[in-house]
Amino acid sequence: MDLQTQKNRVRELHELLNQYNYEYYVLDHPSVPDAEYDRLIKELIGIETQYPDLKTADSPSQRVGGEVLDVFEKVEHRVPMLSLGNAFGPQDLRDFDRRIRQVVGDDFSYICELKIDGLAVSLRYDNGVFIQGATRGDGTVGEDITANLKTIGSMPLRLSEEIAIEVRGEAFMPKRSFEALNKVKNEKGEEPFANPRNAAAGSLRQLDPKIASSRALDIFLYGIAGAENANITSHSEGLSWLDSLGFKTNKERQNCADIDSVIQFVESWVEKRPNLPYEIDGIVIKVDSLRQQEILGTTAKSPRWAIAYKFPAEEVVTTLIDIELNVGRTGVITPTAILEPVRVAGSTVGRASLHNEDLIREKDIRLGDQVVVKKAGDIIPEVVNVLVERRTGEEKVFQMPTSCPECESELVRLEEEVALRCINPKCPAQIREGLIHFVSRNAMNIEGLGEKVISQLFSESLIHDVADIYKLTREQLIGLERMGEKSIQNLLAAIDGSKENSLEKLLFGLGIRHVGAKAAKTLAQHFETIDCLAEATEVELTAVNEIGEKMASSIVTYFAKDEVNELIQELKLASVNMVYKGPKRVLAEDSNSFFNGKTVVLTGKLEHLNRNEAKEKIEALGGNVAGSVSKKTNLVIAGADAGSKLTKAEELGIEIWDEVKMIEELNK
């Protein structure tokens, strides 16, 4: 055949295979046998092998699984992937409804959708072709899992329209796929996945796409983050449009005129939930009108126009076998119940937190008791109560120790604290937990240094403090379990790359008491170098916005220790960055910027800067970027297709700029 004939055949195969994919995975109504599909995909791969230039990114052959990756690249979301506030009962829903009415009045409706228990993802298409997919991550930055998402048969690689669009969805593992996967794992003697959610997340984070392909994942799309020429006025219209583009949306959704209808819908699914072929953990309720959504706006973490109703936790009875004590990085002793493994809310539970000694006494929990266990919010296992009537007399009262289970130092209970604490700074457990915290995602984020690897390095005496991480060599790592040449190369590269992190990552990683991730950034932004922070007095620290006396005292105490100063010097010798690299916030008295002290709202599509870039630049000049327009707003920046925020600003007489004027002012 000549090249043109092959091109025509490839086009025909694309159309046929995409049609069969859609019928099989989305409509659940295949029109041809599996053997016919396999024959056509084999023919397509054969042509693409012979004519590589005919292989395109949207080819059905690309679902088979691409090359093995070395690492997942980071992806910054153009529109943040916010989390949802939770409701746990009808009154929470009525309170949500009341808050909506206070802002938009009584003329609105809701749309209710099943809350799929999977992994939130963001998908980008250009000219109708899938170009990138990412995990939610921290909501601002996720991981590029494009190759793995391509293996999901229900996710279109090409849309029915040649448009640019970014959509959000939930990738999940159907119950049938989950059971089949765990059957294979059990046969191989491997640890089975605890639940379909973990299985889906683990599958999509495989560096080898062929593994993801073998897991038979699925996906439902539930929202549009941005689209060109989208003439949509409601969320329900948006879902119908997604259907027409070839996406798979969940059809078990319902428009509700009022909150009573919402509650009725929620209660109906509490009963029907077990009959679904996939796991759900609640119902998502949204205001349907996009204009009203924009008026309601968002908080820093979640939209005000949506809420997730979490199903009542499933309760089961099991035996409490033992109570295990764990020492945290701050020395707090946390008791954990060891349970006879039991299935609860979709996963097998063998442990549950008991929080502290007072809770054990309050609930009169004894070794050998029959206890009621539930998952709070379908996530955290907890012991609800003891079935005292089932006691046989053989149960034993648990006694908290007086010495640390790790280092045998005397335990103390500090003033106003309910927890027992080990205050030995050389306690091995505290050091190990501190190391795990140092490499975690919100701290130094060293890929490949998880809890198991850190514990192994610590037990082998290869690391004693965080500075030792930067002294690790290939020779030290090569003999460790599951450490091949490639893993070692990747790990050493990740360690080396973490040296370039901005100061706030290091500050949070050091584990200074009372200093969380947000406070670490505030401190780094204000003092700019670790030396300046180390020299700061309590008075200077409390002068910083959001830094209180307790935190200030903790910081001064921390940097006064000789061992801390020695550690900082070792990190400096290892070339770990000690300087803040982010945008610098100008102090009010030092700023001549127009934005200083102003509350600014961004609306519409910006062409030259994305929302996060504009927000950082404005805040660096002393401004505050808010999510919604109010009487306190000083300025609205309106991009293309600005909607109700612009209308409200005009009604309130608020100053309005376009993006060009904003950039001119930013560059002054």
Picking from 187-191, 434-438, 486-490, 569-573, which range would have the lowest pLDDT averaged per residue?
187-191
**What was the pLDDT predicted at 426?**
83
Decide which of 367 and 231 is more confident: 367
Q: Which residues of 378-408 are buried (b: 16+ CB within 10 A; e: fewer)?
A: beebbbeebeeeeeeeebeebeeeeebebbe
Q: What is the CATH number of domain 85-310?
A: 3.30.470.30
Instruction: Give the burial string for 17-42 (b: 16+ CB within 10 Å, else e).
Output: bbebbbebbbeeeeeeeeeebeebbe
Nearest to 266 by CA among 135, 96, 32, 461: 96
Q: Which residues lie below 8 Å from residue 180, measured CB to CB, with a gap of 6+?
A: 216
Tokens standing for residue 24: 């099989």
Tell me: the pLDDT tens digits for 398-449? 998 999 998 999 888 877 677 888 988 789 999 999 999 999 988 999 998 9
Q: 188 or 14: which carries more pLDDT confidence?
A: 14
Identify the DSSP state of 249. -
- Position 579, amino acid: V
CA distances from 571 to 347, 471, 508, 575, 648 (A): 42, 10, 15, 6, 52
CA-CA distance, 443 to 453, in Å (whole number)? 17
Q: Is the pLDDT of residue 186 over 90?
A: no
Please state the rounded mean pLDDT for residues 453-467: 92
- 146-155, 391-400, 538-547: least confident range: 538-547
| CATH H-level, domain 503-573: superfamily | 5' to 3' exonuclease, C-terminal subdomain (1.10.150.20)
User: Which of 67-81, 362-376, 438-452 has the lowest average pLDDT?
Assistant: 67-81
- Provide the pLDDT for residue 554: 92
% of the chain exceeding 90 in pLDDT: 46
Average pLDDT over residues 493-514: 94
Confidence tier at 248 by pLDDT (50, 70, 90) = very high
pLDDT at 453 over 60: yes
Of the listed ranges 241-245, 290-294, 546-550, 639-643, the least confidently predicted one is 639-643
CA distances from 353 to 11, 244, 432 (A): 57, 47, 20
Compare 33 and 574 and report the one with higher pLDDT: 574
Q: What is the mean pLDDT of residues 592-598?
A: 83
Asked whether the predicted pLDDT for residue 37 surpasses 90, the reply is no
Cα–Cα distances (Å) from 108 to 100, 101, 292, in that order, read: 9, 9, 8
For the 315-412 domain, the top CATH level (class) is mainly beta
Q: SS3 of 373, please?
A: strand
Say what the pLDDT of residue 218 is.
Answer: 94
CA distance 164 to 372: 51
pLDDT at position 587: 53
Pick the range with the lowest mean pLDDT from 18-32, 118-132, 302-316: 18-32
Q: What is the mean pLDDT of residues 11-40?
A: 79
What is each CA distance from 197 to 81, 174, 378, in whole angstroms?
A: 18, 10, 12
**For residue 236, what pLDDT band results from cuts at 50, 70 and 90?**
very high
pLDDT at position 374: 81
- CATH code for residues 3-20+28-55: 1.10.287.610
pTM of the model: 0.53
Tallying the residues shown for the chain, one arrives at 668
Tell which wins on pLDDT, 560 or 589.
560
Looking at residues 577-602, what average pLDDT do you find? 77
The pLDDT value given to residue 28 = 64
pLDDT reported for residue 489: 92
Give the start-to-end residue ranges of the domains of the chain. Answer: 3-20+28-55, 85-310, 315-412, 428-498, 503-573, 588-666
Average pLDDT for the chain: 87
Please name the CATH architecture into which domain 588-666 falls: 3-Layer(aba) Sandwich (3.40)
Same fold, 503-573 and 588-666: no
307 pLDDT higher than 60: yes
Ranges 174-178, 255-259, 438-442, 544-548: which has the least confidence: 544-548
Q: Which residues are catalytic?
A: 115
Q: In the chain, pLDDT over 70 holds for what percent of residues? A: 94
Instruction: Examine the pLDDT at 188 and tell me if it is beyond 80.
Output: no
d(CA 349, CA 384): 14
pLDDT of residue 379: 58
Q: How far apart are CA 245 and CA 162, in angstroms?
A: 10
Residue 377 has pLDDT above 90, yes or no: no
pLDDT in tens, 255-294: 999 999 999 999 999 878 888 999 898 999 999 999 999 9
What's the confidence (pLDDT) of residue 346?
64
Res. 50: pLDDT tops 70: yes
* pLDDT beyond 90 at 366: yes
pLDDT > 60? residue 12: yes
Domain 428-498 -> CATH class? mainly alpha
Q: Where are the alpha helices (DSSP H) in 1-89?
A: 3-21, 34-50
Give 88-140 as a 3 state SS string.
CCHHHHHHHHHHHHHHHCCCCCEEEEEEECCEEEEEEEECCEEEEEEECCCCC
Q: Which of these ranges, 387-391, 608-612, 636-640, 644-648, has the smallest mean pLDDT? A: 608-612
Mean pLDDT of 519-543: 91
The dihedrals phi and psi of 314, each to the nearest 5 degrees, come to: -70, 135
Q: pLDDT (tens digit, 9 = 90+) per residue, 348-365?
A: 889 998 888 888 998 999
What's the rounded Cα separation, in Å, for the pair 14 and 60?
6
State residue 446's pLDDT score: 94
Average pLDDT over residues 533-548: 88
| 127-145: average pLDDT | 89
Instruction: Name beta bridge partners: 511.
Output: none
pLDDT at site 444 = 95
